[in-house]
A and B are shown apart, each in its own frame.
Chain A
Amino acid sequence: MTTRAEAHQRLRADVDDLAALISDKLERVVPRVLAKYGVEWHEVEPGWFDEVAANTAKDLEKLAVYQNEAVDPHKQIGYAAFWIRKLKPIKIAHTNDKKPFACVNEHLSLWLACEQLVSHMDAVVADRGDQALKLRDEVVSRIHRFLKDAKGISYIVHCMRSRTFGPHHYVILLRQFTVL
């Protein structure tokens, strides 16, 4: 059995690789997510995805040391979303009708977290039969209802900008969709 010190040493060596991997993936996934939610054009702060990825990797590494190197997927998603919200990698964005998109980073953090949770559900239920698929559909329908609730989203974005909104707020939010 590995000690925490050994785990910490090994995970720390992996952190830079994980950060580079996350940064690369963010560059690919963010334009797709923004496009899906009606953001036609956006500009990224140079190097900001690297920063988001580095902080996410560091946080996850700290959690992994204390959890035998296994971290709840909700937490993995929540920490990445938090650092997007915190560091705001999108400099400017326009909607499909050429209007500036206000609070794009806050919205992006929610959209990306929700999309990743759907992917997590797809991965979890794969090859597990009809009952598992029904549970997945229930979770996805909860997520869709949440994303369509403009008033609710607006309030959460307000909380992100004006109050404390940490990684665990994202985790609690995501857990609400998957607790059946």
Chain B
Amino acid sequence: MSHGEPVFPQTLSDDAQQVIRARMVAKGLIMEPENEGEDLSYLARLFDLTCSRLDRETSEQQA
């Protein structure tokens, strides 16, 4: 191997990535499988839900 040649390939095939990911999940190094999640607008929705719930709690306390 000549000097400067990468030891590991710069990019891994999808299959190789899946194998590595499965090992990491099995060892608990990552917490959720890829593609499980919500789109980014979900955070804004959580803010709205939180506002509504806190308003409801406040009105219940005052009632």
Contacts and interface: CB of A to CB of B under 8 A. Distances in A.
Contact of B35 (A21, A36, A67, A115): A67
Interface residues of A, number: 40
B50 A116 contact: yes
B54 A70 contact: no
User: Which DSSP category, helix, strand, loop or mixed, fits chain B's interface?
Assistant: helix
A52 to B, nearest CB: 12
B20 interface: no
Contact of A29 (B37, B38, B42, B50): B50
Given A28-B47, A32-B50, 5 more contacts: A18-B40, A18-B41, A77-B43, A80-B43, A116-B46
Interface of B: 31-32, 34-51, 53-55, 57-58
28 contacts: A11-B40, A18-B40, A21-B41, A22-B47, A25-B44, A26-B47, A29-B47, A29-B50, A29-B51, A32-B51, A32-B55, A36-B57, A57-B40, A64-B39, A70-B36, A71-B38, A71-B39, A73-B38, A73-B42, A73-B46, A76-B46, A77-B43, A77-B46, A112-B50, A118-B53, A119-B46, A123-B45, A171-B31
